[in-house]
Structure 1
């Protein structure tokens, strides 16, 4: 039994660190420009954000070179704000948008930046280790509708199911 655990534990620990098939991460990524607060414009529904609105992610550099992550959102059923802290590190080359994030202990999951406003770092598209984990982020709580539609169309072309996106609006952020 212990030998099986030794074989499968690495697969469990590292199985969530990958880029979905048919998707590439951005190149020429500059972490310093990505740091700061991002607003969640849209996402595919997932278990860890169920019933949340007005979700933000704030990234800052930690003294050890990793990235501190502070996610904040309003739990609509409980009527309260909640925060979660995490740590992110580059998977390999820091000029590529492939990171891994840990919300607890040694367990990491992928954070892949697959499209990015390379000029202003004003918007980003992010996926996890599988295509059912997808986000559109912006530096502002609202996004130009034409830009939003073009990003959704691009996501569809990459094989993401965008039919049931959870879409936030600037009114969600006014609860603060």
Structure 2
């Protein structure tokens, strides 16, 4: 019975991996940035752009909410509205653990026991207004900001930084954070 469940889980992960875009960044694209002040990093981060994947491609107004727990783990909530802004906020709740010795930049995020992914903070600006997070394999990237609207100049700077790191920025899609952005060029 347990072997069957493990086999099914492995097949699901394999299929999910195949559903990703064929243009895979080089393994070095997702590297950790400087150490983070974890307390300062906590709070709400709006998803400005991401590499859309199955579970979040039809959400708008997405945001992450990070809360440091007493035991050192992080309550990681990924929330948004499905299809349009008139829908209720829904999403997922995960528990993240900082990987020791990484300057708080690498987190193991528990999806469904026993599966975890490693999410890396590749960049955060000195004022903690913008950040770039990515999966360890570089396939998925999130550009996050403290405010739901990111200055266009700052967004272009982040894209240039990502391109210099080796990411395929043409795969990024902006996430509507207000109704009038829905359906606009470059937005999901």
Category of TM-score, reference length = shorter chain: 0.7 to 0.9
Among candidates 58, 81, 91, match of residue 89 of structure 2: 81
Q: CA deviation at 1:164?
A: 3.6
Normalising by structure 1, we get a TM-score of 0.80
Distance 1:53-1:137 versus aligned 2 partners, 3 A rule: same
Match of 2:19 in 1: none
Match of 1:29 in 2: 36
Secondary structure of the residue aligned to 1:93 is coil
Match of 2:49 in 1: 42
Among candidates 115, 118, 125, match of residue 110 of structure 1: 118
Q: CA deviation at 1:43?
A: 0.3
Q: Deviations over 1:86-131 (max 9, x none)?
A: 011112225241111112222110110001112x211101110222
Match of 1:98 in 2: 106
Match of 2:22 in 1: none
Secondary structure of the residue aligned to 1:40 is strand
Match of 1:51 in 2: 58
CA distance in 2, matches of 1:124, 1:56: 13
Secondary structure of the residue aligned to 1:48 is coil
CA distance in 1, matches of 2:73, 2:79: 19
CA distance in 2, matches of 1:91, 1:172: 38
Q: How many residues align?
A: 159
CA distance in 1, matches of 2:112, 2:179: 28
Contact 2:95 2:109 in 1 (8 A): yes
Normalising by structure 2, we get a TM-score of 0.75
Distance 1:106-1:42 versus aligned 2 partners, 3 A rule: same
Distance 1:35-1:115 versus aligned 2 partners, 3 A rule: same
CA distance in 2, matches of 1:129, 1:38: 20
Question: Structure 1 runs of 4+ off > 3 angstroms?
Answer: 77-80
CA distance in 2, matches of 1:130, 1:47: 17
